[in-house]
Structure 1
Amino acid sequence: MTGDCEAADVSGAHGTVDSPSTMQGLTSSEVAERVAQGRVNINTELKTKSVKQLVLDNLLTLFNLINLVLALLVIIAGSFKNLTFLAIVVLNTGIGIVQALRSKRMVDKLTLLATKKATALRDGVEVELDLDDIVIDEVVKLGRGDQVPADAVVIRGEAQVNESLLTGESNLIKKAPGSELMSGSFLDSGLVYARVVHVGAENYVAKINNEAKYVKKVNSEILNTLNLIVKFASVIMVPLGIALFISSVSESYAVWEATSTDPSVGMFSWMFSGPEAWGAVSAAILSTVGALLGMIPQGLVLLTSSVLAISTIRLARRNVLAQQLYCIETLARVDVLCLDKTGTITSGRMEVEGSYPLPIEGPAADIALPAEVALVDFALANIARATSEDANETCKALLDRYEVSNVPISVPVRVVPFSSAKKWSGAVFAEGAFVMGAAQFVLDHETFQQVEDRVAELASTCRVLVVALVDGFDEDGNMVGAARPLGFVTIRDEIRTSAAETIGYFNEQGVILNVISGDDPRTVSSIAKVVGIPGADAFVDATTLDTPGKIDAAIDRYHVFGRVTPQQKRELVQALQRRGHTVAMTGDGVNDVLALKEADCSVAMAAGSDAARNVAELVLVDNDFASMPAVVAEGRRSINNLQRSAALFLTKTLFSMGLAAICIAFPPYPFQPIQMTLINFFCIGYPGFVLGLEANRARVEGSFLVNVVKRAFPASVSVIVGACLCMLASSLLAFDVSTLSTMCLVSTASVGCCLIWRISQPFTIVRALLFASIIGGLATGIIGFPDFFSIAHMGWGLAMLLAVISLACCAVFFQLARLMDSRAPRTTRLASGFGRGVRVSLGRKGSKRRVSSTGSSARRAVNAMRARIKRQPDQTMDADNAAVAPASMRSFDEPSVNTDPAVDAPQARDTKSGDRRVAPSTGHGVDGSGARSVRTVTKSTGGITMRMSRRPRARSRGNGESRDG
């Protein structure tokens, strides 16, 4: 696919090729007329958000609104010391704004590095213009290295154009008078004058950018969990808060009414009747705010922002710019990584793969050279040096190859530069006249037939040039005499030195790797094989994928896609997402923008287009793909630590909701806001931050919300039990509200310490010191600052009662925790996140309880099941085989995906055993194209069903294990 095919239609009235003798450019009056008509090349590039927009995005959130309303209520109550919770709101908002502004500054600096000037002809004189000043019909002058500022048609000269940022094709495309130039492409060699035919939004680049101008929803499980909690809390806070306030005020009013001599005063009038009544109202407001504050996971929001912000700082030291905090988490969860070839796997430059001498006969054999220097290398090195003044990418690759070598330097007598028409370049030296170029253009028909098979063999993976000896050149630069081949040189895209190692890392992590490129599929396949992409032997030409059904079928069978348009890249990402995959996309060009915007996590190279950088969530500042594993490691650390710490914060949310509901019927709410501050710091915030910043590279396992709730639920129930016991004691022993809140504070702190003890296992020195400091801090706050934290003085009797209640709460907590651990979830991924390979599904016939796992966890599960089978020798066993469509990260108890996305593969049920099996999908299986398949074996014993499945081996690690598992 050439760039001309990709470009928008630029023919028509403005596409006429002018005669060079009449080419003068626009006059000043013509320019003014076009400016007045608005036919100017207005900049339509995707830009970063403005400072104002970034600030507003972080300020105007539901979380901030809820806290602001609660703060106003506290101010109305006149208790300013209870406004300390606003510090969390300010810190959280500040972190978000600072991170967003930092990312914006970095991206804007990268954008400024690009040249924004163009040379145009006006009134027959060359002038330098800003890109925004170019008008329709402008005649622009473009030379080697210049970027085409707007869609244009060549009217004079010839050039080789690099359109890789637009199409993904690394091959240079010849442009002659009448050829179309797409905005955003670069001239590799040559000099042309071109007439601008599209400006502003009509440019090819602008049309792609416009398709990407939509708000992308952040796909983050942590963020979605936080939003879910905040939204749920906001829904129930209003009715609960009103009911709790009315209940508290009603109780105080009932006490007043019992002693009042004026029964005609209603509750509303009484609330404003005097200082005593207002004191009761203020107390009700504070207790209600204390209850509502507990429902909002303030600290968890701040902790998440802080942990991810620290991760972005760490990544910045590795030259990785995170433009969005939660993208670090998303990359750690991806199970499919789509790679663009040019600029990601390859550097965008060319390199010499090798030189291949041919047997030398005749005059060539008489050329005197050092014994270790082949004549083909001598010719290549010296032709490259002779033509270096107008060096294209091929010439640069040769210069790099022979920069440090023992090839003797020869002074050229005459140089014939490369010509797009001739397809070769040459030079005359004292040793002879040599040419280098495409074999079909250098050799005559008979000679070419003799080497055609060798050329075809080398051309399967690289671009091939022939080096030949000729008698000389005539005055017009044509070859004299028949060219006698000396050998070949193969040129290919320069593969990044870190590409193979990085791709190997993702292979080991079980991530499905797809290469999606606009280049020739054979070229893409050869490079994919070099860097170790599994299934790289099979490839597909995307020009054949002209329907959504074909795209869906191809995404299940192939991992290498060539000649892919920007729209098809987006469709491929969408097809993967429809299958439940979390997809990351890397790219650097305008042709990658649509896919980058669609992907769950997008990664761009800093050296790529402005549009790609601006839409990407991660930017590799040093253009080094090797930084990706570091991002994954940071994501794992953040997710795993936040899962542990979030249990502390969610505990408060759950018990606050439960207590608020109970206290509507049995007021008052037993906590004051200042007491919740003590709990928030020592039992939640402080340990949460310490545990949240620990090193942790374990694979991400299971659902974030499920994992957190499993840890938080026992603690929240225990706190509610303790509060209810304290409230019962209060009603029986008739002690005051201050004593009740103190007892609830101590019992809650006891449960909090138990939870911290549990999630800190196994203990380390840091965790032991953390636990000791928490005990010391709580004791200091309760004993040392009783007035500040509204702590009531208690006698020995109440103290003993409090100790019994606290011990009972701890016993309830540990019993519930053991119960939660012993219950098998309905669907549990023992080794999810990254990872595929051996997958085991365990469950009882006729039930829905199953465990799905991969890797070593699966093997342990199998061994445990085998041991159980041995203990039941009287049972029978049957085995069945079934082919299952490969779907990474999906339990095999789920239906396989058919090539038609709207139709799931049917499921068959064994009526005798009741065992459900997955029917094979028509879009999958093992064939000669290298498609993956899965073999599943089902065994049943004693009512226990065991399914084991393994994908075929990819590359061996050397220890007998496949990279795929």
Structure 2
Amino acid sequence: MAKRNDVPRRSSRSFGAIVRANVLTLFNLVIAILWLLIMIFGEWKDGLFGLVIVANSLIGIVQELRAKRTLDRLAVVNEAPVRVRRDGSEREIAPRDVVLGDLILVGPGDRLLVDGEVVASEGLEVDESLLNGEADPIHKEPGDQVLSGSFVVAGSGAFTATKVGADAYAARLTAAASTFALARSELREGVARFIKYITWLVVPIGALLIYSQVGHHADFGIAITGAVAGIVTMIPEGLVLMTSIAFAVGVVRLGRRNCLVQELPAIEGLARVDVLCLDKTGTLTAGGMDLGDVLPLRDGEPVEDALAALANADPRPNPTAQAIQARYPSAPPGWTARHRVPFSSARKWSGADFDDHGAWILGAPDVLIDPGSPAYAEASALASTGARVLALCRTPGLDGQSGQGGEAVALVTLTQRLRPDAQETLAYFAKQGVTVKVISGDNPQAVSAIATALGIPGGDKAVDSRTLPEDDPDKIAEILDANTVFGRVTPHQKRMFVGALQSRGHVVAMTGDGVNDVLALKDADLGIAMGAGSPATKAVAQVVLLENRFATLPYLVGEGRRVLANIERVSNLFLTKTFYAITLSLLTGLIGLAFPFTPLHSTLVNALTIGVPAFFLALAPTLQRAEPGFVPRVLRFAVPAGVACAAAVLLSFWVAHIPASTLEQDRTSAVITLFLVTWWVLVLVVRPVTAWRIGLVAAMAGLFVLALTLPFVQDFFAFDPGDLYDTLIAVGIAAVGAAVISLAVKLTPPLGPRR
């Protein structure tokens, strides 16, 4: 059986990889070792924290598998079928069904999925810039090689598949991670940085704590239990889990709106975007066009015959040709194209030579017509109404490069339908502080008319991109900052625009549907493709709007902001716990005190002030705008809060020990203080206050009161709250600690830049 084109989907990883990522972690290993120590030297109840491994792993696996099913289902919908010729007939097959030796037919916008050798070419031009960085399209003739990962920008042709699956060029590049990379994630990098630093701290501090506890206490079991309590509390075991859950749930929620998120970190990019670059056609306007007026400029010319012949000469008609075909469904008799130049975004025109009927070209008036002519002025006047205007020209011949030398014989107008939801969507972005840039290859006046109709600020002034300095990126960035609408933008310039905006510190999202948008989508911080777009466009984008609805974009941004804001809240909780555990472990290790609580106490307090609340907070709705500086902001909160918590707990433990008391009573006082100060941290984190958040923090407090007062729960957790004096002292110290935490968080300066 011939080898099939079987490659992993970009948007999903295997079941085995998901299980390994959630089970085989450094923290799971550390917790497992500590659990074994408790099982050997301590009481089984103190080993309940070991269930964290099982719970974290199972929840993480289930959520990611749920996201995987959603992604895989949407990825199948998103896959463009491949046209092949088998047994003398054309058919469409799934990309995975392509086999070695298949004859694959391609046209404008098609992505090449496998390597091959060209056997037929009708003006076939292939862009290989995603593979080798070369900006200019390459003309392909029979016998030439084509590589997977490239895409067709003009013309049509066929090639025989010579390498498929993992042997194809793009698959080898992906494996080497040399061209295709996941979207950058400040959130993911920040969490990884936290874990790296904490790992460095856990080993020496844990060793000090074990040495101190064993060296200063006669009961070896109590010493090991105290040491394990400190080390376990230092580990933010749920932080990675909650980050994964938030990403996975975001993917599922967007999937319900038929948005395919091809890279999970793209959800974060949605929240950070502050500039949105829109292509007019297919984004602000609905797909397809209608042929309007055909206005002859000279008498006696076969205008309608030439239009019909040009539109029907292309075996893979673009939307413009399709609109003309709707009125002229067939070429007139005798108009057979001897030579054809296909349309490309760089040329802005297409043409054909019809022997005795001459050579004709159809394209942009400002490219084909002399700017000083009356025809040019008439075309400009038509474009200012928002219509798309084309010039039909008779030309002495076709050289495939220049459209100059022709004589305009007619102007053709095409009407584009505005998306009914476009104005509302643009108003949302304006309200959210996201700057919109309209970047189009069409006539600047036509683009300006559309932008003005949609109420885009600055839409009445359009920049002709042909006047921009190609060799001055700083000047281009300055012009981009000062203007909103740009016309006659080439694919290369779209890419330059994205880079120029990024050089000014902007996080740029780019939407598009045509092959001319591919390079800009690839370079943008977030590429968003329309579902009806070309296969190449959908292949490079991080997000695909499968229903082709522009109005889905606000939901994308909202989901991204929800994920980031909630993960920052959750990080504040987990890292406050880490820092108070580090501080407590250092102090008790140096002083030689018993550790103030057991692993069982830590499990209870962490569940009520971190674990359960974090699960709800990670999934809560929010419209808070994301800002850079995730790590400094979390440290600004967690470090002072953690140190204050540790000081309050240690003071409460020490004060309770002054009169004659048992270790159980001392630890009960410490746990009361620990719960109250960490509960106050939860109160600070859940703001702004809403009814359900008040209910959440109140429920956690109620559960802790039950744990202190119900006799059988007291016995299980080894609580002894009988001494009212110690309890009141613990509450008073906690109140002071809460005030100190509030003041410290408010006054502590940021540890890094914040915009």
- Residue aligned with 1:241, SS: helix
Q: Which of 656, 660, 666 is matched with 2:592 structurally?
A: 666
2:719 maps to 792
Q: Whole-Å Cα distance in 1 between the matches of residues 664 and 316 of structure 2?
A: 85
Deviation at 1:335, TM superposition (A): 2.4
Q: Whole-Å Cα distance in 2 between the matches of residues 69 and 589 of structure 1?
A: 55
CA distance 1:577–1:154, shift in 2 (3 Å): same
Note the 1:420-431 alignment, pairs <5 A. Answer: 421=339
Q: Whole-Å Cα distance in 2 between the matches of residues 128 and 314 of structure 1?
A: 31
Q: Aligned pair 1:396/2:322, yes or no? A: yes
Note the 1:810-821 alignment, pairs <5 A. Answer: 810-818=735-743, 820-821=745-746
1:768 maps to 694
State the one-letter code of the partner of 2:230.
Answer: A
1:557 maps to 479
Render the CA deviation track for 1:464-513: whole Å, top value 9, x for unaligned. 25599xxxxxxxxxxxxxx997x742247776555555445434433344
Q: Whole-Å Cα distance in 2 between the matches of residues 585 and 493 of structure 1?
A: 21
- Residue aligned with 1:297, SS: coil
Deviation at 1:696, TM superposition (A): 2.0
Q: Whole-Å Cα distance in 2 between the matches of residues 816 and 147 of structure 1?
A: 56
Contact 1:95 1:309 in 2 (8 A): no
Q: Which of 229, 240, 249 is matched with 1:301 structurally?
A: 240
Percent of residue pairs bearing the same amino acid type: 28
- Residue aligned with 1:464, SS: strand
Contact 1:241 1:288 in 2 (8 A): yes
1:231 maps to 196
Q: Which of 81, 94, 98 is matched with 2:61 structurally?
A: 94
Render the CA deviation track for 1:118-163: whole Å, top value 9, x for unaligned. 3598xxx99999754238xxx87779999887676676xx857797
Q: Aligned pair 1:221/2:186, yes or no? A: yes
Deviation at 1:241, TM superposition (A): 0.8
2:563 maps to 638
1:735 maps to 661
Render the CA deviation track for 1:262-302: whole Å, top value 9, x for unaligned. xxxxxxxxxxxxxxxxxx44433332222122122223333
Q: Whole-Å Cα distance in 1 between the matches of residues 127 and 421 of structure 2?
A: 21
Q: Whole-Å Cα distance in 2 between the matches of residues 288 and 219 of structure 1?
A: 38
Q: Aligned pair 1:454/2:378, yes or no? A: yes
2:434 maps to 511
Deviation at 1:234, TM superposition (A): 0.6
Note the 1:362-373 alignment, pairs <5 A. Answer: none
2:404 maps to none
Higher Rg: 1
Q: Whole-Å Cα distance in 2 between the matches of residues 174 and 216 of structure 1?
A: 25
Of residues 629-638 and 496-505 in structure 1, the stretch that sits farther from structure 2 once superposed is 496-505
Q: Whole-Å Cα distance in 1 between the matches of residues 704 and 361 of structure 2?
A: 80
1:114 maps to 81
1:14 maps to none
- Residue aligned with 2:620, SS: coil
1:779 maps to 705
Q: Whole-Å Cα distance in 1 between the matches of residues 555 and 142 of structure 2?
A: 48
Q: Whole-Å Cα distance in 1 between the matches of residues 513 and 67 of structure 2?
A: 22
1:85 maps to 52
CA distance 1:528–1:91, shift in 2 (3 Å): farther
Q: Aligned pair 1:753/2:676, yes or no? A: no
Q: Whole-Å Cα distance in 2 between the matches of residues 61 and 648 of structure 1?
A: 21
Q: Whole-Å Cα distance in 1 between the matches of residues 61 and 167 of structure 2?
A: 40
- Residue aligned with 1:562, SS: coil
Normalised to the residue count of structure 1, the TM-score between the two structures is 0.59
Deviation at 1:74, TM superposition (A): 3.8
- Residue aligned with 2:293, SS: strand
- Residue aligned with 1:230, SS: helix
Q: Whole-Å Cα distance in 2 between the matches of residues 813 and 591 of structure 1?
A: 58
Root-mean-square deviation (CA, aligned residues, Å) is 5.5
Q: Whole-Å Cα distance in 2 between the matches of residues 539 and 748 of structure 1?
A: 65
Contact 1:747 1:809 in 2 (8 A): yes
State the one-letter code of the partner of 1:766.
Answer: W
Deviation at 1:237, TM superposition (A): 0.5
Q: Aligned pair 1:284/2:223, yes or no? A: yes
- Residue aligned with 2:736, SS: helix
State the one-letter code of the partner of 1:223.
Answer: R
Q: Whole-Å Cα distance in 2 between the matches of residues 209 and 761 of structure 1?
A: 43
CA distance 1:593–1:816, shift in 2 (3 Å): same
Render the CA deviation track for 1:787-822: whole Å, top value 9, x for unaligned. 564323343xx3222212322221232244135435
Q: Which has the higher contact order (CA 8 A, sep 6+)?
A: 2
Contact 1:782 1:789 in 2 (8 A): no
2:551 maps to 626
Deviation at 1:312, TM superposition (A): 2.4
Render the CA deviation track for 1:754-774: whole Å, top value 9, x for unaligned. 334444556443233323322
CA distance 1:789–1:553, shift in 2 (3 Å): farther
- Residue aligned with 2:69, SS: helix
Q: Whole-Å Cα distance in 1 between the matches of residues 280 and 128 of structure 2?
A: 11
Contact 1:663 1:669 in 2 (8 A): yes
Q: Whole-Å Cα distance in 2 between the matches of residues 291 and 683 of structure 1?
A: 17
Render the CA deviation track for 1:591-626: whole Å, top value 9, x for unaligned. 766665654434344455666656543232223333
Contact 2:515 2:534 in 1 (8 A): yes
Q: Whole-Å Cα distance in 1 between the matches of residues 211 and 552 of structure 2?
A: 57
Unaligned runs of 5+ in 2: 131-136, 341-350, 395-406
Normalised to the residue count of structure 2, the TM-score between the two structures is 0.73
Contact 2:78 2:546 in 1 (8 A): no
Deviation at 1:316, TM superposition (A): 1.5
- Residue aligned with 2:568, SS: helix
Note the 1:493-892 alignment, pairs <5 A. Answer: 498-499=421-422, 501-513=424-436, 529=451, 532=456, 537-540=462-465, 545=470, 550-558=472-480, 560=486, 562-565=489-492, 573=498, 576-587=501-512, 599-608=524-533, 613=538, 616-664=541-589, 665-700=591-626, 703-713=629-639, 715-760=641-686, 763-784=689-710, 785-786=712-713, 789-795=716-722, 798-818=723-743, 820-821=745-746
Equivalent pairs counted in the alignment come to 695
CA distance 1:213–1:647, shift in 2 (3 Å): same
Note the 1:284-433 alignment, pairs <5 A. Answer: 284-339=223-278, 350-352=288-290, 354-355=292-293, 357=295, 392-393=317-318, 394-398=320-324, 415=333, 419=337, 421=339
Render the CA deviation track for 1:715-752: whole Å, top value 9, x for unaligned. 43442233222332354234332222221111111223
Q: Whole-Å Cα distance in 1 between the matches of residues 374 and 463 of structure 2?
A: 31
- Residue aligned with 2:238, SS: helix
Unaligned runs of 5+ in 1: 1-34, 168-172, 256-279, 365-375, 403-409, 427-434, 469-482, 833-965
Contact 1:118 1:131 in 2 (8 A): no
State the one-letter code of the partner of 1:809.
Answer: A
Q: By percentage of residues, which structure has more helix?
A: 2
Render the CA deviation track for 1:853-882: whole Å, top value 9, x for unaligned. xxxxxxxxxxxxxxxxxxxxxxxxxxxxxx
2:402 maps to none
Deviation at 1:185, TM superposition (A): 5.8
CA distance 1:692–1:166, shift in 2 (3 Å): same
